């Protein structure tokens, strides 16, 4: 299954969720591929990837995606780099501009139980490529009033892709992240989504926890950096919930 981790806002825990969900699924015996589609390349930094071939080279048609893979913590990872910004501009000229990532993944995604795509903080053509390549999406979201606006944009973008290209990309669910249980607002936003959208909110929540933000400096997922932390437990619980849903 190919899953995009999407939210056009920056700093909503996409990269953190991608790497830690990947690590948790891998611990549970699943074969996982991770693709970084953000030009900032945060994901590669988070797990200490070396310089090398990236998704940019693949989208330019220079190499196959398999020749970019670096393995960390049992996960296969396709890194990105700054050149994705230029590639985004050149893709816009192409007729099949939405399908480049899907075509690149065709060769290899069947070898994995899960392919997770870390999306850029936009709904640009790079994000459209990620969505078009995906069966489902996970939306990591802080449960704040301001996050709600963004939810409409995501659902509309997915609907548009489904209609334009005859796809059935489904929203697997919203993952509440950086949750502070003491804040009452969280429950109110949750209720609002429940009443106004036909979208699942996962039972699992990722609590605000300093270990999640420390782990990248050690080039590790939080599952391996601090296995007993709330973050590691939360992401393991989320991986289990995801598996039990499928
Ligand atoms: N559960 C959490 N608790 C504390 N800090 C977190 C948590 N999840 C993410 N962060 C921090 O929040 C910031 C944004 O997260 P990130 O995953 O990079 O978001 P995005 O990829 O959506 O831009 C990072 O500094 C990250 O370390
Ligand atoms: Mg990110």
What was the pLDDT predicted at 31? Answer: 98
Distance from the alpha carbon of residue 210 to the mean position of ligand 1, in angstroms:
10
Non-local CB neighbours of 7 within 8 Å, separated by 6+ positions: 14, 119, 121, 139, 140, 141, 150, 154
Non-local CB neighbours of 28 within 8 Å, separated by 6+ positions: 236, 239, 240, 243
Kindly state if the Cβ of 15 falls inside 6 Å of ligand 1: yes
Spatial separation of the C-alpha atoms in residues 145 and 177, rounded to whole Å: 14
Sheet holding 2-5, edge to edge: 70-72, 75-78, 32-36, 114-118, 2-5, 136-141, 170-176
Burial class (CB in 10 A: 0-12, 13-18, 19+), 35: buried
**Which ligand 1 atom minimizes the distance to the CA of 7?**
22
Please tell me what DSSP assigns to residue 67: G
What was the pLDDT predicted at 184? Answer: 74
What was the pLDDT predicted at 145? Answer: 83
Kindly state if the Cβ of 213 falls inside 6 Å of ligand 1: yes
**Which ligand 1 atom minimizes the distance to the CA of 208?**
3
- Phi first, then psi: give them for residue 187, nearest 5 degrees: -65, -40
What was the pLDDT predicted at 213? Answer: 97
Spatial separation of the C-alpha atoms in residues 70 and 50, rounded to whole Å: 8
Low-confidence stretches of the chain (pLDDT beneath 50): none
What was the pLDDT predicted at 183? Answer: 75
| Nearest alpha carbon, ligand 1 atom 8 | 13
What was the pLDDT predicted at 186? Answer: 82
Kindly state if the Cβ of 8 falls inside 6 Å of ligand 1: no
Distance from the alpha carbon of residue 41 to the mean position of ligand 2, in angstroms:
8
Pocket test residue of 9, 11, 141 for ligand 1, highest count of atoms within 8 A of CB: 11
What was the pLDDT predicted at 147? Answer: 86
| Nearest alpha carbon, ligand 1 atom 27 | 213
What was the pLDDT predicted at 32? Answer: 98
What was the pLDDT predicted at 134? Answer: 98
Spatial separation of the C-alpha atoms in residues 215 and 167, rounded to whole Å: 37
Domains and CATH numbers, the chain: 2-245 (3.40.50.300)
What was the pLDDT predicted at 27? Answer: 97
Spatial separation of the C-alpha atoms in residues 168 and 161, rounded to whole Å: 9
Closest-CA residue to 105 (of 115, 95, 113): 115
Distance from the alpha carbon of residue 104 to the mean position of ligand 1, in angstroms:
28
- The residues with which 117 forms a beta bridge, in sequence order, are 4, 35
| Nearest alpha carbon, ligand 1 atom 17 | 13
């Amino acid at each position: 299954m190919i899953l995009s981790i999407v939210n056009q806002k920056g700093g909503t825990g996409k990269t953190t969720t991608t790497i830690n969900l990947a690590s948790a699924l891998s611990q549970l015996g699943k074969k996982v591929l991770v693709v970084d589609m953000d030009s900032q390349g945060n994901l590669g930094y988070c797990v200490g990837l070396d310089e090398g071939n990236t998704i940019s080279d693949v989208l330019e048609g220079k190499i196959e995606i398999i020749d970019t893979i670096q393995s960390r913590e049992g996960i296969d990872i396709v890194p990105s780099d700054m050149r994705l910004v230029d590639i985004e501009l050149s893709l816009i000229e192409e007729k099949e501009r939405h399908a480049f990532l899907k075509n690149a993944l065709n060769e290899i995604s069947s070898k994995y139980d899960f392919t997770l795509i870390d999306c850029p903080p936009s709904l640009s053509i790079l994000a459209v490529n990620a969505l078009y390549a995906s069966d489902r999406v996970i939306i990591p979201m802080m449960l704040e009033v301001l996050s709600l606006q963004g939810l409409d944009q995501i659902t509309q973008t997915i609907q548009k892709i489904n209609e334009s290209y005859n796809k059935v990309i489904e929203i697997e669910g919203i993952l509440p992240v950086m949750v502070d249980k003491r804040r009452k607002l969280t429950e109110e936003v949750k209720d609002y989504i429940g009443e106004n959208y036909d979208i699942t909110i996962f039972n699992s929540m990722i609590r605000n926890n300093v270990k999640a933000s420390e782990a990248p400096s050690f080039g590790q997922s939080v599952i391996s950096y601090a296995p007993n932390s709330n973050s590691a437990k939360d992401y393991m619980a989320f991986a289990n919930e995801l598996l039990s849903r499928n």
